[in-house]
């Protein structure tokens, strides 16, 4: 990986830090603003591509700092072109995944390009149906390693001629178990001088860490929250999500509090598994729990993967579950799936790479 491993990443720096480096090279301060714009608005991944800077300055900056604190070691695009999954190797050799999903216009929705980012290498939550959970927890990601994923996918969309529109913290790991880095990344993502994303276009998914949900409401009230339920009762949820988080009653109370504080609708995620949590009776039980709450249920038929529990339900079973929720006046949809042919579910590409089977 060469000598660049020891160099700090520009993504770790404030504008003031960068300006100090540039001025220390006997260059005018405005050059730092040019570098900043190249990275955060044009998604430049290296100094060589910043052609509005003098060549000598690009060379000298490259001796002191780097842009990207990782290297790309694999990329796959689905057959229909809607999904690109990238595998990144960090300085210590850890592999993380990030996914770009392209959505065509639908109804009143405009075309979207959404990046799904990881916040941990692995995950400690241990959800029995999740490929990342099956691989165990490695370490927290830094804010710069989270931002890198947005930069890498933004580079792809820039080359395609249209920008990223949405960001979801739904990749590997539990974002609220890495709150400091998640908070710092959200701040830079929504900063007008940073990536400049509207907070309403960012969603943070959590398995249900209530202190983190409460802190997120205070720090980023316009960022959407998605709470992973996966079961209509505590007995089943404890089997599926073995790490103690909170009871369903406590989670739903936290969702009510979040909605009251922020005015934002809460999303609930529910991975459907055949014969485990997909019966009409379970749908009615879930609807009873969510009655009167400003929410939306996102149903996700499981992507089966090696080492995880759960088989994919039939389309008929999925639609029956959806119909029960809708009849009970609970807003719900089945997630539009992306990238099943390229192992786009969290942890699948990394798992295959570590077993030596993923294409590079």
| Amino acid 10: pLDDT | 95
123 is catalytic: no
Could you give the CA distance from residue 224 to residue 262 in angstroms, rounded to a whole number?
A: 9
Q: What percentage of residues in the chain have a pLDDT greater than 90?
A: 67
Domain ranges of the chain: 3-64, 70-354
pTM of the model: 0.88
User: 27-38: per-residue pLDDT in tens?
Assistant: 999 999 999 999
| Average confidence score pLDDT of the chain | 87
The tens digit of pLDDT for each residue in 51-94 reads: 999 999 999 999 999 998 777 888 888 888 889 999 999 988 89
Using 50, 70 and 90 to split pLDDT, how confident is the model at 18? very high
Write out the two tokens for 102: 């392209």
User: What would the pLDDT profile of 174-229 be if each residue is shown by its tens digit?
Assistant: 999 999 999 999 999 999 989 999 999 999 999 999 999 999 999 999 999 999 99
Give the pLDDT score at 230: 94
More confident residue, 164 or 5: 164
Mean pLDDT for 16-37 is 96
Q: Active-site residue among 63, 71, 97, 159?
A: 97
Find how far residue 214's CA is from the centre of its chain: 19
Question: Residue written as tokens 């029995």?
Answer: 128
Question: Which pLDDT score, from 0 to 100, does residue 359 have?
Answer: 29
pLDDT tens column, 144-161? 999 999 999 999 998 888
Q: For residue 341, what are its two tokens? A: 């042919």
What is the CATH topology of the domain spanning 3-64? Answer: DNA polymerase; domain 1 (1.10.150)
pLDDT > 60? residue 22: yes
* Whether the Cβ atoms of residue 211 and residue 218 lie closer than 8 Å to each other: no
- 123, 130, 295, 346: the catalytic one is 346
Alpha-carbon separation of residue 321 from 139, 231, 310, 338 (angstroms): 37, 12, 17, 21
The predicted structure's pLDDT at residue 133: 66
For 15, residues 6+ apart whose C-beta sits below 8 A from its C-beta are: 32, 33, 36, 193
Q: Is 97 a catalytic residue?
A: yes
Class of domain 70-354: alpha beta
CA 242, 245, 246: angle at the middle one, nearest 5?
Answer: 120
- pLDDT tier at 136 (50, 70, 90 boundaries)? confident
Using the predicted structure, report yes or no on whether residue 15 has a pLDDT greater than 60.
yes
Contacts for 215-222 with beta carbons within 8 Å, 24 or more apart?
215/176, 215/179, 215/183, 216/176, 216/258, 217/257, 217/258, 217/261, 217/262, 218/261, 219/183, 219/186, 220/183, 220/186, 220/190, 221/261, 221/262, 221/263, 221/264, 222/198, 222/262, 222/264
Name the range with the highest mean pLDDT among 105-119, 274-288, 304-318: 274-288
Mean pLDDT of 14-31: 95
Say whether 70-354 and 3-64 share the same fold.
Answer: no
Q: Are 204 and 224 in contact (CB under 8 A)?
A: yes
For residues 309 and 129, the answer to whether their CB atoms sit within 8 Å is: yes
pLDDT tens per residue, range 221-280: 999 999 999 999 999 999 988 777 789 999 999 999 999 999 999 999 999 999 999 999
Task: State the pairing for strand pair 112-116/95-103.
Answer: antiparallel
Residue-level pLDDT at 99: 94
Tokens 């940073």 map to which residue? 194
**What per-residue confidence (pLDDT) applies to 121?**
87
Residue pair 206/212 in contact (Cβ under 8 Å)? The answer is yes
């Amino acid at each position: 990986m060469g000598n660049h491993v020891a160099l700090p990443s520009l993504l770790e720096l404030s504008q003031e830090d960068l300006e100090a480096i540039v001025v220390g090279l006997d260059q005018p301060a405005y050059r730092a603003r040019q570098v900043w714009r190249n990275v955060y608005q044009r998604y430049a991944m290296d100094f060589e591509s910043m052609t509005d800077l003098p060549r000598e300055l690009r060379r000298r900056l490259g001796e002191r700092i780097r842009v990207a604190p990782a290297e790309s070691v694999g990329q796959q695009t689905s057959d229909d072109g809607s999904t690109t999954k990238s595998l990144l190797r960090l300085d210590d050799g850890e592999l993380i995944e990030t996914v770009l999903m392209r959505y065509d216009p639908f109804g009143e929705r405009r075309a979207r390009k959404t990046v799904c980012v990881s916040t941990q290498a692995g995950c400690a939550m241990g959800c029995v149906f999740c490929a990342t959970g099956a691989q165990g927890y490695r370490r927290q990601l830094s804010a710069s390693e989270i931002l890198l994923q947005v930069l890498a996918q933004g580079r792809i969309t820039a080359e395609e001629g249209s920008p990223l529109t949405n960001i979801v913290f739904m990749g590997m790991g539990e974002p609220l178990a890495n709150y400091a880095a998640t908070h710092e990344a959200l701040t830079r993502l929504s900063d007008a001088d940073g990536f400049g994303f509207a907070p309403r276009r960012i969603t943070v998914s959590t398995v249900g860490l209530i202190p983190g949900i409460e802190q997120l409401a205070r720090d980023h009230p316009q960022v959407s929250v998605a709470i992973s339920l996966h079961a209509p009762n505590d007995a089943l949820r404890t089997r599926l999500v073995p790490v103690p988080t909170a009871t369903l009653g406590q989670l739903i109370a936290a969702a009510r509090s979040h909605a009251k504080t922020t005015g934002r609708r809460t999303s609930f995620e529910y991975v459907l598994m055949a014969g485990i949590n997909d019966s009409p009776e379970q749908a009615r039980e879930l609807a009873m729990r969510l009655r009167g709450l400003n929410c939306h249920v996102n149903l996700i038929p499981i992507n089966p993967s090696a080492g995880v529990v759960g088989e994919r339900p039939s389309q008929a079973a999925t639609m029956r579950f959806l119909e029960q929720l809708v009849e009970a006046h609970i807003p719900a949809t089945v997630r539009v799936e992306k990238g099943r042919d390229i192992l786009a579910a969290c942890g699948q590409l990394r798992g295959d790479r570590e077993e030596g089977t993923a294409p590079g």
